[in-house]
């Protein structure tokens, strides 16, 4: 008996020692080896470059960081639920996690658009500053809490393009009756300028434009738009993307699923979403220009700048629309004030830093 006890004790000592003789804390009740198998549903076509690969990369990073303890299977739009059903499905726990953009939920929560993008609002760098050091993320969490969701910034495309048009836009009059796919507050601005905004998920845009169901569409920028072959459905490619100057994409986690995770896995989600948020912007920054060269030089795309009077008109309307979005309720008011105050402050500094430098370069 004594010999057996000594052998067991020796085995325990060996199992508690690392290679360098360092003690490894004994595992508790096996809590740190539990595997969490989650589903992440997305608003993007499966593996779409940039937008669709980001959630795949996020899942991959989390699997590696957690040594397989957080094992997330990613679903493209329509595989488990429709693109625009992601918010409700994660809220209800159909999936533990989702990846999309907050402006898609504006019909349900009007102030959500502030956490994706606002026409003539902040760019990617400014959005990240507001979200992570300006109180934005806390307000976003407060906004999503009644829906049982914990949001994270998880991607940014940078300034987008104004979009693809089947006719030239030479004046404000050319917006009259224009049927355009454009989500979020930008769509409301277009409506007040005389157009008809349509909200369609990415996967439905090409066919709608090609068949004439819509006259124009905005999507993202050259890298993503080329992947959708939008240049084969419309000839004129306009800039700048006044409607989406720095759209933040989101990862959302069902609150009960979040609460069920040990602290280390929660920390991994915090870090991995931040990494993906940065990674997507880097990828778009690296790839947009090459895609634009292909569009213009190989496909004969007509690149056009929106005329100044059109931009000025859209900007004036945007001001009204953004102000009204802050009047929906008390929380929307706080979100609006936080966003616009941050933008106003950061714009002043960026006028003498980023902007002054780009002008001087
Ligand atoms: Ca867009």
Least confident of 21-25, 126-130, 292-296, 344-348: 21-25
**Is the model's pLDDT at 16 over the cut of 60?**
no
Residue 182 Cα, ligand 1 centroid: separation in angstroms?
7
How far, CA to CA in Å, does 213 sit from each of 77, 206, 208, 210, 218? 21, 10, 5, 8, 14
**Is the model's pLDDT at 4 over the cut of 80?**
no
Residue 220 Cα, ligand 1 centroid: separation in angstroms?
4
Residue 150 Cα, ligand 1 centroid: separation in angstroms?
23
Strand order in the sheet with 149-156: 70-75, 36-42, 97-100, 248-254, 149-156
Q: Which fold has domain 163-244+300-360?
A: D-Maltodextrin-Binding Protein; domain 2 (3.40.190)
The domains of the chain are located at: 36-159+246-285, 163-244+300-360
Residue 100 Cα, ligand 1 centroid: separation in angstroms?
12
The confidence band for 12, taking pLDDT boundaries of 50, 70 and 90, is very low
Residue 148 Cα, ligand 1 centroid: separation in angstroms?
27
**Is the model's pLDDT at 7 over the cut of 90?**
no
Q: Do domains 36-159+246-285 and 163-244+300-360 have the same CATH topology?
A: yes
- pLDDT above 90 covers what percent of the chain? 87
Residue 347 Cα, ligand 1 centroid: separation in angstroms?
22
Q: Residue 203 has what pLDDT?
A: 87
Residue 157 Cα, ligand 1 centroid: separation in angstroms?
9
Residue 104 Cα, ligand 1 centroid: separation in angstroms?
11
**Is the model's pLDDT at 61 over the cut of 90?**
yes
For residues 235 and 166, is the Cβ–Cβ distance under 8 A?
yes
The confidence band for 31, taking pLDDT boundaries of 50, 70 and 90, is low
What are phi and psi for residue 105, nearest 5 degrees? -100, 15
- pLDDT above 70 covers what percent of the chain? 91
The confidence band for 26, taking pLDDT boundaries of 50, 70 and 90, is very low
**Is the model's pLDDT at 5 over the cut of 60?**
no
Q: Residue 68 has what pLDDT?
A: 98
Arithmetic mean of pLDDT, 89-95: 98
Q: Tell me: the pLDDT tens digits for 243-266?
A: 999 999 999 999 999 999 999 999
Q: Tell me: the pLDDT tens digits for 172-217?
A: 999 999 999 998 899 999 999 999 999 898 889 999 999 999 999 9
Q: Residue 32 has what pLDDT?
A: 80
Say how many CA atoms lie within 13 Å of 163 toward its Cβ: 25
The CA-based dihedral angle spanning residues 281, 282, 285, 291, taken in that order and rounded to the nearest 10 degrees: -100
Q: Residue 6 has what pLDDT?
A: 46
> Superfamily assignment of 36-159+246-285 in CATH?
Bacterial extracellular solute-binding protein, family 7 (3.40.190.170)
Arithmetic mean of pLDDT, 89-109: 95
């Amino acid at each position: 008996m004594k010999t057996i006890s000594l052998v067991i004790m020796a085995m325990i000592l060996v199992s508690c020692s690392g290679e360098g003789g360092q003690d490894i804390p004994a595992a508790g009740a096996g809590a740190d080896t539990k595997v969490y198998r989650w589903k992440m549903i997305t608003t993007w076509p499966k593996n779409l470059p940039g937008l669709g690969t980001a959630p795949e990369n996020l899942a991959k990073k989390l699997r590696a960081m957690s040594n397989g303890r957080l094992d997330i299977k990613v679903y493209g739009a329509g595989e488990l639920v429709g693109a625009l059903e992601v918010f409700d499905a994660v809220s209800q726990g159909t999936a533990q996690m989702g990846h999309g953009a907050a402006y898609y939920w504006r019909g349900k929560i009007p102030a959500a658009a502030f956490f994706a993008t606002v026409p003539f609002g902040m760019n990617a760098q400014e959005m990240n500053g507001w979200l992570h050091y300006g109180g934005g993320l806390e307000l976003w969490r407060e906004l999503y809490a009644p829906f049982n969701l914990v949001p994270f910034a998880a991607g940014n495309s940078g300034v987008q393009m104004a979009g693809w048009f089947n006719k030239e836009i030479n004046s404000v009059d050319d917006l009259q009756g224009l049927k355009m796919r454009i989500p979020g507050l930008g769509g409301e601005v277009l409506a007040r300028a005389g157009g008809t905004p349509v909200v369609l998920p990415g996967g439905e845009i090409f066919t709608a434009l090609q068949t004439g169901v819509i006259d124009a569409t905005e999507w993202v920028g050259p890298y993503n738009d080329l992947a959708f072959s939008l240049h084969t459905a419309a000839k004129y490619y306009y800039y700048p993307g006044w409607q989406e100057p720095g759209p933040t994409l989101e990862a959302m986690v069902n609150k009960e699923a979040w609460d069920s995770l040990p602290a280390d896995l929660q920390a991994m989600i915090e870090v991995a979403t931040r990494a993906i948020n940065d990674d997507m912007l880097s990828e778009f920054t690296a790839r947009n220009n090459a895609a634009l060269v292909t569009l213009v030089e190989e496909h004969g795309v007509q690149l056009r700048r929106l005329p100044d009077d059109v931009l000025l008109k859209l900007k004036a309307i945007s001001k009204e629309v953004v102000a009204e979005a802050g009047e929906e309720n008390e929380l929307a008011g706080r979100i609006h004030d936080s966003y616009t105050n941050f933008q106003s402050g950061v714009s002043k500094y960026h006028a003498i830093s980023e902007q002054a430098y780009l002008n001087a370069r």
